[in-house]
Amino acid sequence: MRKLKLGELNRLSTEEFKNAKKLPVIVVLDNIRSAANIGSVFRTCDAFLIEAIYLVGICATPPNRDIQKSALGATETVDWKHFETIKDCIAALREKKCEVLTVEQSDHSVMLHDFVPESDKKYALIFGNEVDGVSDFAIQYCDTCIEIPQFGMKHSLNISVSAGIVIWDFARKLRL
């Protein structure tokens, strides 16, 4: 066994990425404070051919040095938009006929492993602020709240880790 060299990874060019069939998912980052977290999510969205990222409120936007450090160029491949408020963002998602899902612990959450995405639907996954989580407004106006099962004391994951888990799960269920 040996580690593959970069040239053996069959990476898409930027143009090939832009023309590739995307996973029908828009990732929404709602008031994320850390540009490094935002960059990490860009990189994950690139890895799984996510349709777009919507940045809301105080989120830093490209070009941003701290985003670039963790995104490693993914801001050049993944489409993105910025919205002033989550209300405006959700309205735009509804216009695109997205099923709006929040990733949060709530009294009516569906566990991630129990959620089965349908291949003919488009989804929006809303991830919330590092301290306050997903906003009450987003939870009130979402279609479903998805929860990542956790078994330790904290019951809290970093936003970029949560995004990686959920995006991978959607990619696995919709593509593999």
How many CB atoms are closer than 10 A to CB 117? 18
Per-residue pLDDT at 99 exceeds 90: yes
What DSSP element (H or E) covers 3? none
CATH, domain range 20-148+155-175: 3.40.1280.10
Going 67 to 70 to 73 to 75, the CA torsion angle's sign is negative
Mean pLDDT of 137-156: 95
Q: Report the chain's C-alpha Rg in angstroms.
A: 16
Per-residue pLDDT at 73 exceeds 90: yes
| Helix spans in 74-176 (H) | 86-95, 136-140, 159-175
Q: pTM of this prediction? A: 0.96
Per-residue pLDDT at 6 exceeds 90: no
Work out the angle between the directed axes of helices 35-47 and 159-175 (0-180°, nearest 10). 10
